[in-house]
Amino acid sequence: MLEIKKKFLNLQNEENAKNMKAYMKNNFEFLGIRTAERRKVQKEEFKKIPKDAEIDKEFVRSLWNEECREFQYAALDYLIKMRKKLKKDDILFIEELIRNKPWWDTIDPIASYLVGEICKNYPEVIDTYIIKWIEDENFWIRRSSIIFQLKYKEKTNTNILEKAIKPNLNEKEFFIRKAIGWALREYSKTNKIWVSDFVENNDMSGLSRREASKYLG
């Protein structure tokens, strides 16, 4: 699957790269490959994966270590495709990715698809790892602890959601305030009453409150 690297390099577009880099606040270099083109290459390469294959962590790391952001996107799409193969101990590998080159574009799918998948299948990971993430110095780790249940709907553990949000309510970091509002807003689609009570009974930033209240009516 390392053919992905060669194929990506052949699709470089300097003008696109400039615009993509600016959109991401100049945090990362880009090759300038549009999403549709990138996914077409990935689809061709991912077809070669045997059905019984386990997750190739070295392949993921080799992409993650590349300078241009498209390689991290490819690694992430590969992991999402393979997420049913994630094991309990893979939470450490996923944490490694969260801490390496973090920004919202990778953190959000990592949290909602990968951390979410592991915790759904191995709930004990929540008590072993996620609880520690809630007060981690790295705000991307904390953001992940807040939003990993985004896709859980009625299976959301409100006790954990509350534990993740409350210690971060006074946080000034935009990405934490946004995460709090996002997590509450998403859960309000399933349980308006719980979210309404939480918003009413807790002081939070205007941003978090606006986001959380979007569907409360």
pLDDT in tens, the chain (217 residues): 669 999 999 999 999 999 999 999 999 999 999 999 999 999 999 999 999 999 999 999 999 999 999 999 999 999 999 999 999 999 999 999 999 999 999 999 999 999 999 999 999 999 999 999 999 999 999 999 999 999 999 999 999 999 999 999 999 999 999 999 999 999 999 999 999 999 999 999 999 999 999 999 8
Q: Residue 168 falls within a domain, yes or no?
A: no
Q: Count structural domains, the chain.
A: 1
**Helix boundaries (H) for 82-205:** 90-99, 104-109, 116-121, 124-125, 131-133, 139-147, 158-165, 174-188, 192-201
CATH code of residue 140: 1.25.10.90
Q: Residue 170 falls within a domain, yes or no?
A: no
Q: Residue 173 falls within a domain, yes or no?
A: no
Q: Residue 201 falls within a domain, yes or no?
A: no
Domain that holds residue 19: 3-152
